[in-house]
Amino acid sequence: MRVSTRVEYGLIALMDIALHSENGSCVATWEIARRQNISKKYLEQILPQLRTGGFIKAQKGIRGGYTLACSPGYVTLADILNALDISVLEEMEIPDSSGGTLDSIINICLWGKINSSLKKFAEGITLAEFAGQCRSMLSEDWDMYMI
């Protein structure tokens, strides 16, 4: 499966905002760029898509930045992926298998099922659940380096 950098970085940026704005503080673009090693200029092209999708809101000013605009318990990963690139979870067009070619059989037996599983997974996990998993894994990695 191929996912564009726009989708990958958009999801990373949204997770960074979710994890760092929990106390109501805003997260600046430069902070996300520094923490996640993503170009600030590229983030400035991606964040408006997340804002248009209703996932984040911007606040101007000296302490400005981004916070979540939605309740993370009601937004699924599918919602986010579709806002960043509608083709990620798009149903595959599987050619008619009546000819019985190996190509069409593989499309049905493998790629169609993988696509269906990915869509089901993304529709079944909320932003809150995903953020919790990320937070847990980040804290486990952090604990490993404690002396």
Which CATH entry fits the domain spanning 5-144: 1.20.1250.20, 1.10.3720.10, 2.30.110.10, 1.10.10.10?
1.10.10.10
Residue pLDDT tens, the chain, 147 long: 568 899 999 999 999 999 998 788 899 999 999 999 999 999 999 999 999 999 999 988 888 899 999 899 999 999 999 999 988 888 766 655 556 788 878 877 888 888 889 999 999 999 999 999 998 888 765 544 444
What predicted TM-score, i.e. pTM, was given to this entire model? 0.83
Contacts by 21-29, CB closer than 8 A, 24 or more apart: 21/65, 21/66, 21/67, 21/68, 24/67, 25/63, 25/65, 25/67, 26/59, 26/63, 26/64, 26/65, 26/66, 26/67, 27/65, 27/66, 27/67, 28/64, 28/65, 28/66, 29/65, 29/66
pLDDT tens sequence across 94-122: 655 556 788 878 877 888 888 889 999 99
Q: Where are the domains of the chain?
A: 5-144
